[in-house]
Amino acid sequence: MAKAIYYVSYPLKKGASVPDFLAAAETLNKEFISKQPGYVSWEQLRDGDVWADVLTFETMDDLNHFKEVSNNPSALAEAFYSFMNLSPSLCKLHVFSVERSY
């Protein structure tokens, strides 16, 4: 089966501390995301004010499970989200299947 990618881009809230944001992400990954079935990796990307999270899972079923268990965010997730501007006009979410890797 093809790996699955969860991609979301967003800006941080005005005045958000980048070091604190990255620390919240690291804690969330260590305590929750990395423990999900099929988890491969989480990359955080930045282009100026735009951030992107790229989470890779072994299968689409694994990614869908992650999405399902994430519907009720924990305190760790809420702490992470508190730095992000999740306005629908600024936040873009995509789920990809990996069709080919080189």
Provide Rg for the chain, Cα atoms: 14
- Tell me, what's the pLDDT at 2? 87
Q: Is the pLDDT of residue 1 over 80?
A: no
- Tell me, what's the pLDDT at 58? 97
8, 91 in Cβ contact below 8 A? yes
- Tell me, what's the pLDDT at 88? 92
Query: How far is Cα 66 from Cα 51, in angstroms, rounded to an integer?
Result: 20
Q: What is the 3-state secondary structure (H, E, C) of the chain?
A: CCCEEEEEEEEECCCCCHHHHHHHHHHHHHHCHHHCCCEEEEEEEEECCEEEEEEEECCHHHHHHHHHHCCCCCHHHHHHHCCECCCCCCCEEEEEECCCCC
Share of the chain above pLDDT 90, in %: 97
Query: What fold is seen in the domain 4-97?
Result: Alpha-Beta Plaits (3.30.70)
pLDDT digits (tens, 9 = 90+) for 37-90: 999 999 999 999 999 999 999 999 999 999 999 999 999 999 999 999 999 999
Mean pLDDT computed over 24-33:
98
What are the domain boundaries of the chain? 4-97
Q: Is the pLDDT of residue 97 over 90?
A: yes
Average pLDDT, whole number, for the chain?
Answer: 96
